[in-house]
Structure 1
Amino acid sequence: MANLLGGKGAGLAEMTRMELPVPPGFTITTEACRAYLEHGREPDRLADEITREWDRFETEVHKRFGADRPLLVAVRSGAEISMPGMMDTVLNVGLGDEAVLRLAEWSGDERFAWDAYSRFVRSFGETVLRLPEQLFQEAETRVCDAFGAGRKNVLDAAQLKVLTSAYQEVVNAETGEGIPGDPRRQLDLAVRAVFDSWNGERARAYRRREDISEDLGTAVNVCLMVFGNLGPDSGTGVAFTRDPATGAPGAYGDYLQRAVGEDIVAGIRNTVPLAELERLDPASYARLRANLRALEAHYRDMCDIEFTVERGTLWMLQTRIGERGAEATFRIASDLVDEGVITPDEALGRGTGERLARLLFPRFAESGTDRPAARGVAASPGAAVGQIVFDSRKAVERREDGRHVVLVRPQTRPEDLPGMLASVGLLTTSGGKTSHAAVVARGLGIPCVCGADQLDLDVEGGVLTLPDGTRLRDGDFVSLDGSTGDVYAGRIPLVPSPVARDFVAPAPESGQSPAQQDAETVHDEAVRDEAVVRAVRRALDWADGHRRLRVRANADTPDEAVQARRLGAEGIGLCRTEHMFLGDRQPIVERLILAETPAERGTALAELLTVQREDFRGILRAMDGLPVVVRLLDPPLHEFLPDLTELSVRHATGDYRGEDRHHLQRVLDAVRRTHEQNPMLGLRGVRLGLTVPGLYANQVRALAEAAAGLKAEGLDPRPEIMVPLVGDVSELRLVKQEAEQVLAEVRLATGTAVDCPVGTMIELPRAALTAGDLAAEAAFFSFGTNDLTQTTWGFSRDDVEGSFFPAYLEHKIFAVSPFQTIDPAVGSLITTALAGGRAARPGLETGVCGEHGGDPESIRFFDRARLDYVSCSPFRVPVARLEAGRAVVEGAVVEGA
């Protein structure tokens, strides 16, 4: 019931049902939050229901603990989908001038009581009353200075009492009244603050980044406070039933003695490994391990647990399916299949294409790497290299300038989220695997090293001092390894990940690891690499066993074709021939455009024929036995000529740069002749083939001769010709007739028949609406979803994504860019075209060659629409394979439901 109780509330309810030790409390549902957000006030019946639950709660606490225990509660947010640190929490609700004395008496620790009260006053002031943090910090500094204390942690009970009074004075001065003394009134205000935090800036930014609906709302969990700072037999921790970074089996996590939960999450103190609890408190550790095993067995997945030990008594404060890195996602799913806990289909549902894509990212080269300058906690795997920035704002500014940055902080806070989103890596000098920086980094899929306390960080001065005395300043480069915790000064070369490397060659053996690493580390890394590679292979095998969609690649060169095939591509769905016209071939195209006689045009075409034939030979050879769809020239001719403005200036100033003046004039005339105000809708695609004599015929000849030559070698080339930007069947018919004539000529010249079907791209709304007519001539359809989206919306992609798209997303005109995920209207055009095309030509082959072919959500649509294949960039091929399999499994689950 996470949609009603929120993830945290559902976990607490489930642990209660399992009879695990959970503090008494109750949950206010997401339904109440949604009503509050819609109407601007709490539902009428909410106050009565809270009062009824509060009375029950008070009775239960007195029954279980005795009437002398103060009724202090934690008021925590808890959305259906985890949003770590993005919403507000208020602790110690119920404290007041009298309650603090009862807390001191019950605990037998006056300093503890006043520490809790000071934390409460400040938290309530900042979170509930929305007072500036700076006012409380200034008050704290004054008190610490007065007592000669460097920080709040060293103040004694009497001094903490003074600090509490100073905080109260801030509240009184800013509000004209103090914090309410009535616990029930405090609770009402705290609940409202948590509701309001759903629409806080950091929460909204996180939801946009993670594509979480704005309409879900948050639940509010009210639980009895249990204290981990009551002495050496108390503490707090976060535990995972498996390593959330690598997926390795065994309990992992952090523990802090004499601490409360906010200490460990904030990362203000360095933690000890969870295993240290076994030495400190064997009984609590044994109970915790038993609970971890029970929860993983119950949820059939890795779990994330927050717990507190209060004077030797273990309390379970939260459980959920744990956030994990991409590597851990696949390894855990694979291991759970081996353990008989889940089925392969269930495992397939857990490893998303997005996470697989992260495993294809590079990491540091293993050879030649210097000893790290420092080492911290390996909090989120992967390698990152970037320029140091010390605050979130600068990170955003530098990213907008196109730079790669690493955000360096003592510890991150939710307010740092924009800078974290803008960074390629995170480095903090305190905190552990469960600190804010670590949790958010894993969710964002960026490398993170936490707790690097060997580093001396001066944020105000903008200096990061390494243990050897080297000073790194703003803009200097730093390299992080979030898989090992290593920090390096400068830039370290990157290499493909073991998963990416596995598609090219077998995974490296341990003997290939760097000599400077000890044998145990080498062995551990080799085992870890082997485990994740095996898990990914299995996931792709399971996906391949289910998927209906074939997966091809968009590849324009022989090298790309080789790479695509290694990554599992089942052919090429889009070979863009315009890429063959660039570089040292561009002068040939220029001569073609400038040609004034048939002879000049013929000479240029002959040169292009030679080079294109060799390109096609390499691509067809790499894809031997698999289809290769070759798109005839698509972009406007002016893209192969110099810029009009630059040429005009050169002509006007006599800047011929060694060229003949007459030639420069001819080029300028050609550029003016081909210049268009809106080239996207101008002379391009099939229009070029019909207006530039011999252009398309020359390309078809090059392809056919390449295929004929390979067939003579005993190979099995399977070329297909695709005509772009067709809007009317007459256009397609004319090009097809010319292509068939050329194919016949090549057959006569070589004695080899080349089977080369001719199809078309559907990238204009008119083409989609007249698909039945087109299918009479087309052997296949390939949907060019980039242009189809542009022409449906009337957007110029190059112009709009960086201009008004952020505003459109903010105003919810669309939830995601239509160039990222298929827009519903574009989807309707696709289904219309499919129906018309299949009615006219049963068995018509259909595919997608736009960038949507690698988008997971779009792939689900294409599967439902029963297309035959998707085509995407080579490195997206494994992602598309995985998502195509997941689409079938998820569809079967929906149909079964």
Structure 2
Amino acid sequence: MTKYVYEFGGGKTDGTAADKNLLGGKGANLAEMAALGLPVPPGFTLSTDVCVHYNGHDKTYPANLKAQVEAAGKALEAKTGKVLGDPKNPLLLSVRSGARTSMPGMMDTVLNLGLNDITVEGLAKLSGDRRFALDSYRRFIQMYCDVVMGMAHHTFEDILERHKDDNGYYSDTDLTEANLEALILDYKHAVRDELGKDFPEDPTEQLWGAITAVFESWMNERAIVYRRLQDIPESWGTAVNVQSMVFGNMGDTSATGVAFTRDPSTGENRYYGEFLVNAQGEDVVAGIRTPQTLTRAARENMGESAPSLEEAMPEVYAELADVFAKLEAHYRDMQDIEFTVERSKLWMLQTRSGKRTAKAAIKIAVDMAEEGLISKDEAVLRVDPISLDQLLHPTLDPKAPRDIVASGLPASPGAATGEVVFSADDAEALARAGHKVILVRLETSPEDIHGMHASEAIVTARGGMTSHAAVVARGMGTPCVSGAGSMRIDYEKGEFSVAGRVIKKGEIITVDGASGQVFAGHVPMVQPEMGENFTKLMGWADVARGLGVRTNAETPEDVKTAIEFGAEGIGLCRTEHMFFEADRLAHFRQMILAETREDRIAALENILPVQREDF
């Protein structure tokens, strides 16, 4: 019998990090972290083979999958001491995707699965916090209806905003128990009105609905676009990870966050990330609330007043720092980590090799080689040759005048100028027509991937350094400013404003992803220079390589640039571009238009010394 379901955590773990092709990156790394003894909520993984079967057999599952899922579910209940659907001690689950390579935000997730009108009261009694239980329930309804039942996310956001406005509230956390009860009823009425059926109360039905939705999301439009852009084969499929829930929204001693063991923008050996107190994971990446920094140094550097994790929860921070060190030493690479703190208890939800800019990739590779974590040959292989194009991104001329419009977080380095657009579709259409565009959004979502790819730069009013916009932009090498909170964006009018100043669709702005600033008009730029780490890495590559490197050069300027980049010679030279200079083009045209052999020879005699001089 083919095995499709693999357990992890709670004393029994079936897989390892080597099983990435079968369990997906997330499932394999959850198994690996559990085997290392790190605090991982137990769960089980449905393998990528299930996804391949589902999409290849008319959206049906293997015959023995249901029995394997039921067995793994019983084992999970035994590990946690909780039972799915139990009115007094309910087991609650998260259901997440996990392909073998990272696809941030492209596929679907469901949290708090197992809640219904009965189990929510059991959760309230267990936690001693009914407001928390109701908040978790309304989040589940909203997420499940969006991911599984196909309702628009904004339907619930609009209802939520109306309840907040009616009560004069600013934040979701201001809602009381009574407010949340009314909100849940309105959510359910919206489901009945739009779909003609009730929200499902049966936890088993909920579970299979969520599993199917995640497998379906492998073939959604945004995932297909992302796979095409990143050259990821459709045949790989995704795994599904079913995991017992831990809660970061259980009050001021709970939190959730995303962290990198090194800076993914610069490669500096310092912690980089964000967290939110009394929140769940989607709050951090969605940009609905402004996150706080991990370290005191980062908070002071960014001029923020809200305490860092290091200051707010020093014991948790110390444990997290220890986990960072263990994971980086074990994987021998910079790690991208998701974590939750539930009533001062740290839980690890994910680790994976973090996406990084080309500049960061070079620095991290060189530093790790010099630290002895990896060899010099490994360091060379760690840097994607195609990504080195990012190093050619221009930066703003420090001497040029600047008219600053807005400031946010430096989410992805580089600088770009273009026309303001407010939708991904407009960005793609104008880019195809030859325009350079800057995509400006309240926050980006996975549905915006096509417009993000078409844009010269991205600006968001919400979100932090680990938001969807920031992570995807860094992966693409696109400049990005996130969390520009002073911006007020009006999609209907096609404009944004800052302190009364209005910028309309089509106007030119310049984005500096390194400083987090947005400027009106075009700001002149300067070409980049290769740094010490680049030269060092290329030197290691020269030692290891067996092929000579020659360049395609067509003008003396091309040759000069090639030599500066370390080329050993010219492998291809096409002379026609040499004749495009104004003082040469006339002779060239004279030669082409010559009507006699004598006239042609006379024109060539003018061209010959010029060509000899070039060579």
Is TM-score (shorter-chain normalized) higher than 0.5?
Answer: yes
> 1:699-710 residue pairs with structure 2 within 5 A?
none
CA distance in 2, matches of 1:278, 1:562: 50
- Corresponding position of 1:115: 135
- Corresponding position of 1:504: none
The percent identity for this pair of structures is: 48
1:94 maps onto 2:130 in alignment: no
CA-to-partner distance for each residue in 1:401-443, whole Å, 9 max, x for gaps? 2111111111111111111011111111121111000010011
In structure 2, runs of 5+ residues without a counterpart are 1-18, 296-307
- Corresponding position of 2:224: 204
1:563 maps onto 2:561 in alignment: yes
CA distance in 2, matches of 1:69, 1:337: 50
CA-to-partner distance for each residue in 1:731-789, whole Å, 9 max, x for gaps? xxxxxxxxxxxxxxxxxxxxxxxxxxxxxxxxxxxxxxxxxxxxxxxxxxxxxxxxxxx
- Corresponding position of 1:250: 270
CA distance in 2, matches of 1:134, 1:250: 37
Please state whether the residue corresponding to 2:613 is helix, strand or coil: helix
C-alpha distance 139-432 of structure 1, shift in aligned 2 (>3 A): closer
Correspondence for 1:323 among 323, 336, 355:
355
> 1:381-392 residue pairs with structure 2 within 5 A?
381-392=413-424
Please state whether the residue corresponding to 2:392 is helix, strand or coil: coil
- Corresponding position of 1:605: 604
Please state whether the residue corresponding to 1:242 is helix, strand or coil: coil
Correspondence for 1:465 among 483, 497, 520:
497
Kindly provide the amino acid, as one letter, of the partner of residue 166 in structure 1.
D
C-alpha distance 117-293 of structure 1, shift in aligned 2 (>3 A): same
CA-to-partner distance for each residue in 1:350-394, whole Å, 9 max, x for gaps? 012122221122111122354744322111111122121111121
CA distance in 2, matches of 1:26, 1:605: 76
1:346 maps onto 2:378 in alignment: yes
Greater shift in the superposed pair: 211-220 or 347-356: 347-356
Note if contact 1:380-1:442 (Cα within 8 Å) is conserved in structure 2.
yes
- Corresponding position of 1:179: 199
- Corresponding position of 1:592: 591
CA distance in 2, matches of 1:580, 1:463: 46
- Structure 1 position 67, deviation (Å): 9.9
CA distance in 2, matches of 1:591, 1:59: 89
Correspondence for 1:492 among 519, 523, 531:
523
- Structure 1 position 68, deviation (Å): 5.2
CA-to-partner distance for each residue in 1:23-42, whole Å, 9 max, x for gaps? 12111111111111111111
Please state whether the residue corresponding to 1:498 is helix, strand or coil: coil
C-alpha distance 338-369 of structure 1, shift in aligned 2 (>3 A): farther
- Structure 1 position 158, deviation (Å): 1.6
CA distance in 2, matches of 1:14, 1:593: 70
CA-to-partner distance for each residue in 1:285-329, whole Å, 9 max, x for gaps? 111111111101110111111001111111111011111111110
- Corresponding position of 1:720: none
- Corresponding position of 1:24: 42
C-alpha distance 158-575 of structure 1, shift in aligned 2 (>3 A): same
CA distance in 1, matches of 2:100, 2:507: 41
> 1:476-875 residue pairs with structure 2 within 5 A?
476-499=507-530, 533-582=531-580, 583-616=582-615
> 1:75-474 residue pairs with structure 2 within 5 A?
75-137=95-157, 139-140=159-160, 143=163, 147=167, 153-275=173-295, 276-370=308-402, 372-467=404-499, 469-474=500-505
CA distance in 1, matches of 2:428, 2:173: 33
Superposition TM-score, scaled by structure 2 size? 0.91
C-alpha distance 543-62 of structure 1, shift in aligned 2 (>3 A): same
CA distance in 1, matches of 2:280, 2:182: 22
CA distance in 2, matches of 1:451, 1:147: 26
Note if contact 1:553-1:573 (Cα within 8 Å) is conserved in structure 2.
yes
Greater shift in the superposed pair: 67-76 or 420-429: 67-76
Please state whether the residue corresponding to 2:246 is helix, strand or coil: coil
CA distance in 2, matches of 1:123, 1:285: 30
Note if contact 2:83-2:89 (Cα within 8 Å) is conserved in structure 1.
no
CA distance in 1, matches of 2:83, 2:193: 40
CA distance in 2, matches of 1:427, 1:598: 61
CA-to-partner distance for each residue in 1:102-122, whole Å, 9 max, x for gaps? 122222222222221112112
Note if contact 1:265-1:434 (Cα within 8 Å) is conserved in structure 2.
yes
Greater shift in the superposed pair: 179-188 or 601-610: 601-610
CA-to-partner distance for each residue in 1:35-73, whole Å, 9 max, x for gaps? 111111111111000000000101111189999542110
CA distance in 2, matches of 1:183, 1:64: 10
CA distance in 2, matches of 1:68, 1:280: 33
Kindly provide the amino acid, as one letter, of the partner of residue 249 in structure 2.
N
CA distance in 2, matches of 1:453, 1:174: 34
- Structure 1 position 586, deviation (Å): 3.6
**Greater relative contact order (Cα < 8 A, sep 6+):** 2
Kindly provide the amino acid, as one letter, of the partner of residue 35 in structure 1.
H
CA distance in 1, matches of 2:161, 2:338: 32
- Structure 1 position 219, deviation (Å): 0.6
Note if contact 2:377-2:544 (Cα within 8 Å) is conserved in structure 1.
no
C-alpha distance 449-559 of structure 1, shift in aligned 2 (>3 A): same
Aligned length: 582
- Structure 1 position 277, deviation (Å): 0.9
Note if contact 2:87-2:121 (Cα within 8 Å) is conserved in structure 1.
no
Note if contact 1:140-1:166 (Cα within 8 Å) is conserved in structure 2.
no
Note if contact 1:241-1:251 (Cα within 8 Å) is conserved in structure 2.
yes
Greater shift in the superposed pair: 158-167 or 407-416: 158-167
C-alpha distance 593-293 of structure 1, shift in aligned 2 (>3 A): closer
CA distance in 2, matches of 1:295, 1:142: 44
Larger Rg: 1
CA-to-partner distance for each residue in 1:164-221, whole Å, 9 max, x for gaps? 1222123233444323322112111110000000000000000001111111111111
1:475 maps onto 2:506 in alignment: yes
Greater shift in the superposed pair: 272-281 or 146-155: 146-155
Kindly provide the amino acid, as one letter, of the partner of residue 358 in structure 2.
A
- Structure 1 position 553, deviation (Å): 1.7
CA distance in 2, matches of 1:35, 1:476: 49
Note if contact 2:44-2:72 (Cα within 8 Å) is conserved in structure 1.
yes
CA distance in 1, matches of 2:344, 2:160: 33
Please state whether the residue corresponding to 1:76 is helix, strand or coil: strand
- Structure 1 position 9, deviation (Å): 0.7
Please state whether the residue corresponding to 1:359 is helix, strand or coil: helix
- Structure 1 position 139, deviation (Å): 4.4
CA-to-partner distance for each residue in 1:612-655, whole Å, 9 max, x for gaps? 23333xxxxxxxxxxxxxxxxxxxxxxxxxxxxxxxxxxxxxxx
Please state whether the residue corresponding to 1:417 is helix, strand or coil: helix
Greater shift in the superposed pair: 345-354 or 487-496: 487-496
- Structure 1 position 449, deviation (Å): 1.0
CA RMSD of aligned residues (A): 2.1
CA distance in 2, matches of 1:82, 1:116: 27
Note if contact 2:87-2:118 (Cα within 8 Å) is conserved in structure 1.
no
CA distance in 2, matches of 1:549, 1:237: 45
CA distance in 2, matches of 1:601, 1:181: 88
In structure 1, runs of 5+ residues without a counterpart are 500-532, 617-897
